[in-house]
Amino acid sequence: MSGFAFDLTATDGAARTGIISTPRGQIRTPAFMPVGTAATVKAMLPGSVRETGADILLGNTYHLMLRPGAERIARLGGLHRFMNWDGPILTDSGGFQVMSLAGLRKLTEAGVTFASHIDGSRHLLSPETSMEIQRLLGSDIVMAFDECPALPATEDAVAASMRLSMRWAQRSRDAFGDRPGHALFGIMQGGVSPDLRAESAAALTAIGFDGYAIGGLAVGEGQEAMLGVLDYAPGLLPQDKPRYLMGVGKPDDIVGAVQRGVDMMDCVLPSRSGRTGQAWTRRGQVNLRNARHADDPRPLDKDCGCPACRGYSRAYLHHVVRAGEMIAGMLLTWHNLHYYQQLMAGLRAAIAAGRLGDFADDFHALRAEGDIAPI
Ligand SMILES: [Zn+2]
């Protein structure tokens, strides 16, 4: 693929750091991708998202195809121009959200027909339509169309679903074609079964993708089960391609995944939490709604460089959260995204310096101390 490349610059145990190069800019890995579901990272301007340190955003195919529609976005110059973000964009395939959000779904070998959760209109998502929609959006990193079994599921059901996803992966590859500067990632499935994960990895590698996602995790299986799969799953994938863990996660999930060889992650958590008065800090989670902050003149985190921490007290943040003011979601989303990107920068530097173990120990120790004592 001309114009899309991945260069590993250092490793520390299973962990890796490197650079993904795209025509729209570089992505430093391990990378955290803020989620811009409806062509916006809620409560943030694109320039603000960039200032937090994000190199790439995620867009949701399912939402964008229904509203405002992929053809309309294409007519208006593509998703980058439409939402005023000129960096790389990864779009998901729509497969996960059609199973979790849409009504009246019918799954066949061809794909999934469903009713829009917005207006009830009927649509088909298939490997071919997903590739076409992601092409219309102008996505830099396109995800293969896959199926996610609803959990809990028997091993037979997980196996059948994984094999369907592998047939769809081949159809996605065929439909994607040759698009220089754009990448197509395959998605490994197989639940918590090492044998099925290995079968899936072998099938994807035989097809050949520009990167590989680990799917079917962070769907309610719990951190222990997820990290158990990550103890072996990344090692089943090619060393020289990016590995993307979809939908993860909490800060300690991210550290655990990076230690096990994951290069890219995304999650709505930092932005969604910011709109409900929840902050993520080096000392863990802080609920600004709590009355203990009402008279506290100190910043949320005195060592954080974000606008919420530089310019405002905990008392102010508490007040605007309680009052339902829009600035509450703006400030806390900015802080949370800034914290996540600081965490990623710290992980990258620690891997490069060969001291990821010490970094992880310090990370867990400070969280174990908990938030600063009330005044
Ligand atoms: Zn901050």
The answer to whether residues 353 and 219 belong to one domain is: no
Q: How far is CA 181 from CA 28, 174, 334, in A?
A: 17, 17, 31
Query: How many whole angstroms from 311 Cα to the centroid of ligand 1?
Result: 9
In a domain, 298, yes or no: yes
Tell me, yes or no, whether 29 and 134 share the same domain: yes
Token output for 158: 């997980």
301 CA → ligand 1 middle, Å: 6
Q: What pLDDT is attached to residue 293? A: 98
Is 374 contained in some domain?
no
* Under 8 Å between Cβ of 346 and 255: no
- Is residue 200 domain-shared with residue 53, that is, in the same domain? yes
Binding-site residues from annotation: 92-96, 146, 189, 216, 304, 306, 309, 335
Please tell me which residue, 100 or 163, carries the higher pLDDT value: 163
What residues pair up with 31 in beta bridges, in sequence order? 264
Measure the CA–CA gap between 343 and 360, rounded to whole angstroms.
11
Options 12, 55, 263, 266, the catalytic residue: 266
Domain extent at residue 226: 5-267
List of residues 6+ apart from 268 with CB closer than 8 A = 35, 37
Half-sphere exposure of 164 (CA within 13 A, CB side): 19
> Residues within 5 Å of ion ligand 1 by Cβ?
304, 306, 308-309, 335
pLDDT at 1 over 50: no
Q: Are both 254 and 329 inside the same structural domain?
A: no
CA atoms within 13 A on the CB side of 347: 33
How big is the CA angle at 92 (ends 124 and 83), to the nearest 5 degrees? 100
**How do beta strands 183-188 and 211-214 pair?**
parallel
Residue stretches of the annotated binding site for substrate: 92-96, 146, 189, 216
Q: Are residues 201 and 331 in the same domain?
A: no
The tally of domains found in the chain comes to: 2
Q: Does residue 180 sit within a domain?
A: yes
Q: CA-CA distance, 227 to 217, in Å (whole number)? A: 9
In a domain, 70, yes or no: yes
Last residue of a domain, one of 234, 267, 300: 267
Catalytic residue among 55, 92, 140, 263: 92
pLDDT at 104 exceeding the cut of 90:
no
Question: Are 77 and 121 contained in the same domain?
Answer: yes
Provide the CATH number for the domain around residue 225.
3.20.20.105
CA atoms of 295 and 288, how far apart (whole Å): 12
312: left (phi over 0), alpha (psi -120 to 50) or beta: beta
The C-alpha atoms of residue 27 and residue 152 are separated, in whole angstroms, by 35
- Single out the residue of 141, 272, 253 nearest to residue 245, CA to CA: 253
Q: What is the pLDDT of residues 307-321, one digit of tens each?
A: 999 999 999 999 999
Only one residue has tokens 């929609």, namely 133
Annotation marks residue 266 as catalytic? yes
Q: How confident is the model at residue 339 (pLDDT cuts 50, 70, 90)?
A: very high
Tell me how long the chain is. Answer: 375
Cα–Cα distance for residue pair 77/138, rounded to 1 Å:
9
Ligand 1 centroid, distance to 315 Cα (angstroms): 14
Q: How far is the CA of 309 from the centre of ligand 1 (A)?
A: 4
* Mean predicted confidence (pLDDT) in 4-15: 98
DSSP 3-state of 276: coil
Q: Which two tokens stand for residue 81?
A: 């121009």
Instruction: Tell whether 281 and 246 lie within a shared domain.
Output: no
Residues 27-55: tens digit of each pLDDT? 999 999 999 999 999 999 999 999 999 99
Q: Is the peptide bond before 30 cis (omega within 30 degrees of 0)?
A: yes
- What residue type is 73 in one-letter code? I
Q: Where are the alpha helices (DSSP H) in 177-222?
A: 194-207
One domain for residues 79 and 191 = yes
Q: How far is the CA of 308 from the centre of ligand 1 (A)?
A: 5
> Is 79 part of a structural domain of the chain?
yes
Domain boundary among 233, 267, 301: 267
Is 262 found in the same domain as 301? no
| pLDDT computed for residue 2 by the predictor | 55
The answer on 284 and 136 residing in a single domain is no
Model confidence at 26: pLDDT above 70: yes
Q: Is residue 375 part of a domain?
A: no
CA of 327 to the centre of ligand 1 (A): 14
Known binding residues for Zn(2+) are 304, 306, 309, 335
252 is catalytic: no
Residue 91 domain-assigned (yes or no) = yes
| Whether 159 and 58 share a structural domain | yes
- Residues 242, 290 within the same domain: no
Report the 10 Å Cβ neighbour count for 42.
17
As a whole number, the mean pLDDT across the chain is 96
> Which of 225, 250, 267 is the endpoint of a domain?
267
**pTM for this entry:** 0.97
